[in-house]
Chain A
Amino acid sequence: MHEAHEALETYKKKDVNKVVVRFKAVGNAPIMKQNFYKITASNRFQAVIQFLRKELGWKQGDPLFTYINLAFSPAPDDTVANLFKSFSTDGHLIVNYSTTAAWG
């Protein structure tokens, strides 16, 4: 019974575990006053993109591209937890963002 309780507690903890994300502007993208944010790890990366859009005041159609460590573009369904585990540096996950339209 005690083990079951502990197991449940562990899963509960996972849900609220937050990780630090650091946003870094690329090119002419607007720079935010605050760059470090704590985000719940179980979120999908899509939530980070939406959060960034809101902070920048960028509407849905405006071009916004996000990258991890200037290495790759994460899929919106990747979880923040997995990205953090594989790519964090110095305790935070670097998310670069650009507003330059890449296509057309």
Chain B
Amino acid sequence: MLTRSDFDQACKAYVDAHRNARASGVKDYPAGWIWTEHPYVLNLGYLSRTRHLSGTPHPRTDVGEADDFNHPSVEEDDAVWHSTEESLTCNQYVVYSATFGVPAFYFTLHDRSGSPLALEQVVQSALFRPNTLPSPDGNTFAVTLPHSAFSLLSQGDHPTLGTPSWYLHPCNTAEVVGEIMAEVEEGRTNLLRCMEAWFMVLGNIVDLFAGE
């Protein structure tokens, strides 16, 4: 469990420690986060960054078998930009959940025209690792695991910005991060390490390196 002040310190330490993606391309700690505070209210700081993800391409109509039409087959040219492939804008945030005393992951996902994606598209997007989220099963506002009291992924307002977002429910976060911190070697159980552990757990279902 973190206090609000712990969270602030942890985030700032993380931003400093992992400012840029590793030159070697090694994908361990997601980088490029910015710490932002509310213009005039204290204690509402959060981390943010924006990523551009490739969207699911719309199904392409087949060119057709060359044999049927006696025409030479058209070769797919990889250099051609396929206009059916969308680029999605994903705003990612790490905010403090006062209820649970832990960081929580909020995000928005829009297509090129600025329209927010529907839940089904969010679940299938490049933001999440494949096969980690259950299907929404017709639900349009939340994804819930069976036997679970809370929805895993649902909608809520960003605590500082007030804008509508998706967020991953943090009720189990404290327990899981606590377990990990218990295994961390002596002398390294500081707030930065805590934040790194949190990102590690998040990385199980969110692809934190998508769009880099």
A residues sitting closer than 8 Å to B (CB atoms) are 24, 26-28, 65, 67-68, 70-73, 75-76, 86-87, 96, 98, 100-104
Contacts and interface: CB of A to CB of B under 8 A. Distances in A.
B179 interface: yes
Contact of B172 (A28, A75, A100): A100
B180 A103 contact: no
Contacts of B173: 102
Contact of A67 (B148, B200, B205, B207): B200
B175 A104 contact: no
B204 A96 contact: no
Interface stretch (B22-30, B68-76, B82-90): B22-30
Contacts of B180: 26-27, 67, 70, 96, 98
Q: Which of A26, A101, A104 has the most CB of B within 10 A?
A: A104
Nearest to A73: B203
B171 A102 contact: no
Contact of A104 (B172, B196, B204): B172
A98 B183 CA distance: 11
Interface in B192-210: 196-197, 199-201, 203-205, 207
Contact of A71 (B28, B168, B179): B28
B192 to A, nearest CB: 12
Contact of A103 (B24, B28, B169, B183): B169
Given A75-B207, A104-B149, 20 more contacts: A26-B180, A26-B183, A27-B176, A27-B180, A65-B204, A67-B180, A70-B200, A71-B28, A71-B200, A72-B199, A73-B200, A75-B27, A100-B172, A100-B176, A100-B179, A102-B176, A103-B145, A103-B152, A103-B172, A104-B148
Contacts of B28: 68, 71-72, 87
B91 interface: no
* Chain B interface main SS type: loop
B182 interface: yes
B27 A72 contact: yes
B168 to A, nearest CB: 6
Q: Which of A24, A86, A87, A96 has the most CB of B within 10 A?
A: A86
B22 to A, nearest CB: 10
Interface in B121-146: 129, 144-145
Contacts of B196: 71
8 contacts: A26-B183, A67-B180, A96-B183, A98-B180, A102-B176, A102-B201, A102-B205, A104-B172
Nearest to B197: A70
B184 interface: yes
B123 to A, nearest CB: 13
